[in-house]
Chain A
Amino acid sequence: SQQGEEDPQALSIQEGENATMNCSYKTSINNLQWYRQNSGRGLVHLILIRSNEREKHSGRLRVTLDTSKKSSSLLITASRAADTASYFCATDESNDYKLSFGAGTTVTVRA
């Protein structure tokens, strides 16, 4: 069963704009990860944030985690056409270390 739920399901933005997507989950977690999937490809790991962290940056990516609200957000700044992909959050529950993936947010960046 899916632990994380991404919102929105789809997002269309202009190149250069920022893209924000959210992930909500149900139970206590150890870590939360974000992955990207380009069409027809496997998932690629973007960033991992631990339950005791609140914010993390990697290049143009910024991830926040609010464990009190059981939610996370992924911000992509200054988007590029190459950012067009589906983005998934994945969580591992505190008592079960398997990753559970959400349904994903499909991001389209228009040139």
Chain B
Amino acid sequence: DAGVIQSPRHEVTEMGQEVTLRCKPISGHDYLFWYRQTMMRGLELLIYFNNNVPIDDSGMPEDRFSAKMPNASFSTLKIQPSEPRDSAVYFCASSLQRTSDEQFFGPGTRLTVL
């Protein structure tokens, strides 16, 4: 298996623009997580899905953030409109059967909002 795949790896955009990050989890994994990592706040859980259904989005910082998982092999995290403080590395991770199982992380998307 190729592992968790994320695209793009780097994204540079201007304030106010819409940003869409993409993730393909490991096949057969029931759980998908979106994290954000910054120097100031560390690694934060934004939202997670179980069998394509959003379970907990309490970590989503604002209404500007939204996430979808239309099928078991694809998820998106959208920021609209983007702001400079959204600059961070965004990770997608998946796990087999439980949220507390070993999580497999993708390589991340480094987002820079100018």
Contacts and interface: CB of A to CB of B under 8 A. Distances in A.
Residue picked from B42, B45, B102, B105, most chain A C-beta under 10 Å: B102
Interface SS, A side: strand
Contact of A45 (B42, B43, B103): B103
Contacts of A45: 102-104
Interface string A1-43: 0100000000000000000000000000011010100000111
A103 interface: yes
Nearest to B41: A2
Contacts of B93: 42-43
Nearest to A92: B100
B42 A99 contact: no
Contacts, number: 44
Given A98-B48, A101-B42, A42 B100 contact: no
Interface of A: 2, 30-31, 33, 35, 41-45, 48, 88, 92, 97-104
Given A2-B42, A42-B107, A44-B105, 19 more contacts: A33-B102, A41-B108, A42-B4, A42-B106, A42-B108, A43-B93, A43-B105, A45-B104, A48-B102, A88-B43, A97-B99, A97-B100, A98-B45, A98-B56, A98-B99, A99-B100, A99-B103, A102-B42, A103-B42
